[in-house]
Structure 1
C-alpha cells in the first residue's frame, strides 16, 4: 500500500479502533481491528532468541514443547567478535526465528553503553564504545529486518543502570549525550532504518523517556526522521496526557488490566475531554500502519520465517568462536594437544551450567545448549578420562524476581539409579560445608591430571535484569579457590564465563593462561573446546575495559552509579578506555585486547588524501565522503590460519577543546592464511575527526593535527601517521 492508501485506511478508523491499536491487549500483543483488516501487532523478547510462549493474560508459560528456539550469543559476545559479518548473520538468524514463531517485532538489539562493570544488563548491551556499538548494531538490525520482522532498538536512552531503573534521572552533559550515549541509536535510525525503538524506564532532564517531547518528538522524530514504532518498555509510561501528546505509539505493561493501561481507556477519556487531540492518536496509528505495511502484514505477501533451521547452529558456532577472548597465554600452554591427554580435570560451576533460561527478559527456552564440560567431552571422546568437580557451590535462580537464596537453595543429588538428576532443598547453613567438600575434592582431583581446566565467572544471578551487582569480585569464594588450585597446579588453564568485567587482582599474576567468554549461545561448549584444543585460533577482542578494581572505573571514581533519584554522569565523555588512556590509569586488560595463537606483523601503511572531498565537505556539512583513505598490510607469521581485527584510532594532537587521548574510528577483521598477507583499507570521513560542540549544537572536525593510529588493541598500537585538517568542518547531528 502507498502512503495515500494508508491515510485512507486511517480515515476509516474510529476513536475506539485507534485506542485498540495503541496499547497491549495481552502481555505481548496489541488489539486487532478485524472489521478493518488491521491485525494485532505481536512483540517478543529478546536479543538472544525469541522467548517461550506465555499465557495471554499472565506471566505463566504455556508449557508446550514447540517453542524452543536457537540460543544466540549475547550482544556483548557479538561485539567481542569485532565482525560486522557476524552481526549481520546473527541478526538474520534472530529475525528468521522470530518470524518463524509468528512475531512482528523482536525486542532487540540492546545498545546502551557499558558505563559501569556492575551494570546488571551489560550482557544484553554491546560495549563501552559508541562507534563499536553502532557498527555492530547496524548490520544486526539490517539482518533482523530482512525477514519481514521489525527490530526494536533499546533502551532509548541512558538506561545504564538497573538500580532504581524506573525512576532515576540521568544527569549527563549535552556533549556526553551526543558523543557517547546517542550515536548508536542515531546510526540504527539513519543507517539501518530500524522500524522499532523502545523507550526506557528512566528519566532525562527530569522527564520520563516514554513521554519526553525533547527526546522523542524533537530528536528521534524531527531531527533523525524516525517514522517507525516507538513502544514503551513494559510499564514505563507514567502519565496518560503526556504520553498522548508526544509521539510514543504503543503502551505495553506487565499487568492484565489491559483497558486501564495509560493509553487505553484513560487516553480515550483524555481525548473526549480535550486534553489530548485525536490528531495525536492519528500520528501514533500512522506509525503503526506504516510498519505493518513495510512488514507486509496488510497485503498477505509476507515471509514465513523458520525457527531451529538446520543451518543456524553452524553459523552461531562461528560467532561463538570469534567472540571468545584469549586474555593471557604467557607460557603458550594453549592450545592443548589432545593426543597427549589421558586425564583432564574440569573444575568450576560454569563448566556444567546452562545460561539460556536466565537473565530476565533476555531468557529463552533453548533448543539445546552445549556447556563447556560437554564440549570438552565431545571433543576428546572416549580415549580421555574427563573428571568434573564443581569446586564451589552455586545456587542460581537466574533472575531478580524469584530469589530463593535468602532461605535455601536447590542441591543436585545424584541418587537415582534411573539417571535423571534429583534435586532437594539445601539449607543456607549447609553451604559452607558443601564448599569445603567441593574444594577438597577439586584439589585432590587435579594433582595427577594431564591438564586442569577451570571454568568459573558469573551467571544470571549477577548478570541480570532489574538488579546491578553489589560487588566487583567473583562470587562464591572463587578468588580464594583459584589461588589454592594454582598453588597445586600452576599450569591450570583458567577460563571464565561472564557478561561483565570483574576483579582478577587476587590471582591474575599467578596464572599464565586466561580465556574469557561472554554468554556465547547454544554452541558455547563446542566453541570452548575448539579454542582450547587448537581447532580454531582465538580472535575475540574486549568490547569493554577490564579495570583492576572498581575504584578505577570512572563511573565510580568521578561520577555516580547505583544511586537513586539523580545519577551524576560527571565523568562526561571519559567512559571506558577514553578515561583510562587520558588519565593514565592502567587497567587489568585494555579495550580491544585479545590474543591469538598466531603472530601478526603490521606494515606498509599508506595514506591518501582526497582534497576535493575536503572542499565539498566544507561547503556541505552532510556530504560525508572520505577525506582520507588508509591502507596497510598484515602478515600472519605463523603456521596456522587465524583472524585479526585491526583497530584504527584517531588522536587529536592540538585540540583547543579537551578530548580523549584517542578514540576508535575504524576496525576490520580478516582471516589470514598461514604465512600469508592481507590488505586492510579504511575510509575516514570528517566524523572520524569530530567532537560535539555544545555552543554550535553540532559535530565539528576542527582544523588541526591528528594522528592516525593502527593496532591490535587500544594499548597495542603498531603503526601511526599524522595528518592535518586545514579548516573546521561542521557536521549536522541530525
Structure 2
C-alpha cells in the first residue's frame, strides 16, 4: 500500500469524524482579533458562559464544536505541578509528571540578573508547554512587607524596581512557548493570615509607587496574557472582582487585553464578578469557599447563576462578550498557535539552569576568612541540621512539586568532597515531617550529640533555617516568630562555644533573627534551591563558584525594626476586618533610611564575594536633564582580588526637594558585571524622567518636579560608593 494511499485514507477517516461532530473550522491564518470575532459570533450563550468557569480542578471548557480546546492551568511559579485528579486535590499518580524544581523566586530575585530571569522563564515555560498547559500560575510579584508572610518565598523581594526588572523577562520567555504567564496575586496580598477577606487600607501613593509597579511592568512591558486576582479585599471589594483594581487600573489605564483569573476560592459574588473585571473563575465550591458537592461547577458564580441572569435579561451581553474575547485571545495566543513549540520536560538542561540560578542567587552575608573551605587544610567536616537532608520541593502550599529528583545539601557536600575529607552528619534539631503537627519534644539530647561531634571537626556546616511546614514558609498562614524554629538559635550558640569554625547556612524564603551573628564567622542565605540546590550550595562553600547574590529584601535586627511591625496590631496582622499600611511608601530600606536610627542587620542589596571590587570615577554625561531627555551615569569597577567574580552595581536616586514626602533614596538602576582578577570595566546606567517621578495622588498622575536630584552609586542600600548632583529642568 502506498504512502499516498495511507494519507488519503487517514485524512478521509478524520474528515468523517469531524463532520460527524458537526465541527466548524476557524481560519488559523487570520489575525488574532479577526479570529476572536469570528469565533465569538459563532458561539451560543451557553458555550460562552461555559468558558468562564472551571470544569475541573485545573481546567475550563473550550468549544469542541468549533475546534477550540480546553484551557489547562498549572501551578508554578517554581515548577510544573503534578497532575491532580479531575475533581479532587489528590495526586493522579501519573508516572511521567515529575518535573524539574527551579529555585524559589526569592532566589531568582537575589541574582539581580534579568538574564537569569529570562533563562528561568524560558525553561519553566518549556516544561509547561511539554505538559500541554496553556496557563502557568506565576510568577508572583507581591511586595515583601513583613518577614512573617508565609508566602514571601514565592515573590521577588521588597523593591518594586527590582521586581519589575526581573518579572518582565520571565513573562516574555514563558510566553514564547505558547504558555500564558499568569502574574499573581493582584494586588496587596502581603500576608497569609486572614488572607481570605482582610481589607487592605493603603494610600494611593503607596499603592502606585510600591505595590503596583511590578504588575504594571509585567503587563505593559512583559505583555502578560493573564493576571490572577488576590484573596484579600481592597476598598471593601474582594480583589478577584474589584472595580478599581481590575477595571479602572488594569484594563482601562494599563490597557491589559488578557484574562483575569480568580485565585482558587477567591470568587464570592456573581454580580461583582460579572461587572468588576473577573474573566475566569477557578476553585469555587458550592458555597463559595468551603467544601461542597463534587463536580459542582454549575454552582460557580459565573456559571448557571450568571446564565440565568442573562436569559432573564437582568444583565446584558457586553460584559460576557468582553470576557469571552479575552479568553479566546489567550487561546489563540497559546494552544491554537500553528507553530507552537513542543517544549521539553525534566531535562538535564533545565536542571542545570536551576543550578545556575541557585548559584547566582546564594547570598554570602558574612565571612571572616573561613569561606571558601580549603580541602587541603580541612579534613574533618561536620554537617548539622535537619535542613541538610529535608526535601524542600514538597509542602509550602500550591507551589509544592513532585520533583524528578532533589539534591540535598548533605548530598551536594558529600559529592563535592568525595574522598578529600571525612564528612559526618548529625541532625542536631528535630523538625516534624511536612503535614505533621509539631509537638513539644526534648531536643537537648540531639543538641548534646551535635555539640560533642563539633568538638572533633575542623569546620561545622550548620544547615538550618525554615522549611515548608505550616506557619513557616508555607501558603495559608504566617510565621509565628521572627526567630528560627525548633530551638536552632540555642543549638548554634552551643556549637560555636565548642568550635569557632561554624558556618551557618540559612535555607529559607524569609529573613530570620540572628542573635548569634557576631559569634559565627560566616553566614550564607541559600534560599530554596530546587532540584540542584545541594550541588549549588556545595559549589559556593568550596569555592567552585564565587558568590554574587544580593539580598532582595532588608534583614532587620528585630521584628519591630520592620515598618509593618513598628506601630500596633492594626498594621499587622490587622483587627480581623482590615489591615492598615501606616508606613505608606516607607517600606524596606526606605523605612531604615527615614528613621536613620534603625540599622539593618543586613541591608537590601547586600552580598559579599570571595574577591573585592573597587569603584572609581563616578560620572554623568550631563548634569542638567531637560524634559524628554535621558542621563547616563558611569562608574569604573575593578576586580582587585584574586578570583573571578560578579558585582551588582546599584544606582539610587534622591530627590533633594519635593512637594510631597519622598524616600531618602530609591533604587532606579542596577547592572551585574563579571570581572576577572585585575579586570576593570565601565558600567553605565541610563535613566530618564520616569525614574525621577512620584505618584501625585491628588491628580492621579506621575510627576517629576523640576529641581535638584542626587545620584548614588552603591554596592548595597548602605554601602555608598559615590554621589553626584544633577538637575531636572
SS of the residue 1:387 aligns to: strand
Moved more, 206-215 or 182-191: 206-215
1:346 aligns with 2:346: no
Compute the displacement of 1:652 (Å): 1.3
SS of the residue 1:480 aligns to: helix
Which residue number corresponds to residue 604 of structure 2?
591
1:519 aligns with 2:557: no
> Structure 1's 587 and 458: CA in aligned 2 closer, same or farther, altered over 3 A?
same
Distance 2:728 2:337 in 1: 52
- The structure 1 residue matched to 2:373, chosen from 336, 355, 360, is 336
1:18 aligns with 2:48: yes
Which residue number corresponds to residue 620 of structure 1?
none
Which residue number corresponds to residue 623 of structure 1?
none
Distance 1:178 1:383 in 2: 55
Normalised to the residue count of structure 2, the TM-score between the two structures is: 0.92
1:375 aligns with 2:412: yes
Compute the displacement of 1:448 (Å): 1.2
Normalised to the residue count of structure 1, the TM-score between the two structures is: 0.92
- The structure 2 residue matched to 1:135, chosen from 165, 168, 172, is 165
Distance 1:691 1:576 in 2: 17
1:483-632 correspondence to structure 2 within 5 Å: 483-505=493-515, 507-558=516-567, 560-563=571-574, 564-584=576-596, 585-609=598-622, 614-615=626-627, 617=628, 626-632=629-635
Which residue number corresponds to residue 206 of structure 2?
176
Q: Unmatched 5+ residue regions in structure 2? A: 1-29, 286-294
SS of the residue 1:535 aligns to: coil
1:470 aligns with 2:480: yes
- The structure 1 residue matched to 2:666, chosen from 646, 663, 668, is 663
Which residue number corresponds to residue 396 of structure 1?
433
Moved more, 378-387 or 636-645: 378-387
Which residue number corresponds to residue 31 of structure 1?
61
Distance 2:337 2:490 in 1: 62
1:89 aligns with 2:119: yes
1:298 aligns with 2:336: yes
Deviations 1:18-43 (A, max 9, x none): 11111000000001210111110000
CA RMSD of aligned residues (A): 1.3
SS of the residue 1:382 aligns to: coil
Contact 1:468 1:562 survives alignment (8 Å) = no
1:289 aligns with 2:298: no
Distance 1:396 1:677 in 2: 49
SS of the residue 2:494 aligns to: helix
1:675 aligns with 2:714: no
Compute the displacement of 1:275 (Å): 2.9
1:688 aligns with 2:677: no
Compute the displacement of 1:610 (Å): 8.7
Deviations 1:619-655 (A, max 9, x none): xxxxxxx520111110000111000000100011222
Structure 1 stretches of 4+ with a deviation exceeding 3 A read none
1:449 aligns with 2:486: no
1:264 aligns with 2:273: no
Distance 1:723 1:302 in 2: 49
1:43-54 correspondence to structure 2 within 5 Å: 43-54=73-84
Distance 2:120 2:502 in 1: 33
Distance 1:460 1:275 in 2: 47
Compute the displacement of 1:299 (Å): 5.1
Contact 1:245 1:276 survives alignment (8 Å) = no
Which residue number corresponds to residue 410 of structure 1?
none
Distance 2:309 2:393 in 1: 43
Moved more, 386-395 or 238-247: 238-247
1:243-258 correspondence to structure 2 within 5 Å: 243-253=273-283, 255=285, 256-258=295-297
SS of the residue 1:187 aligns to: helix
SS of the residue 1:548 aligns to: coil
Deviations 1:392-435 (A, max 9, x none): 010132xxxx4x315xxxxxxxxxxxxxxxxxxxxx46x21xx2
Contact 1:37 1:298 survives alignment (8 Å) = no
Which residue number corresponds to residue 411 of structure 1?
none
> Structure 1's 299 and 445: CA in aligned 2 closer, same or farther, altered over 3 A?
closer
Distance 1:610 1:571 in 2: 33
Contact 1:690 1:701 survives alignment (8 Å) = yes
Aligned residues: 684
- The structure 1 residue matched to 2:217, chosen from 165, 181, 187, is 187
Compute the displacement of 1:254 (Å): 5.1
Which residue number corresponds to residue 703 of structure 1?
706
Deviations 1:584-626 (A, max 9, x none): 1111111001000111000122201397x724x3xxxxxxxx5
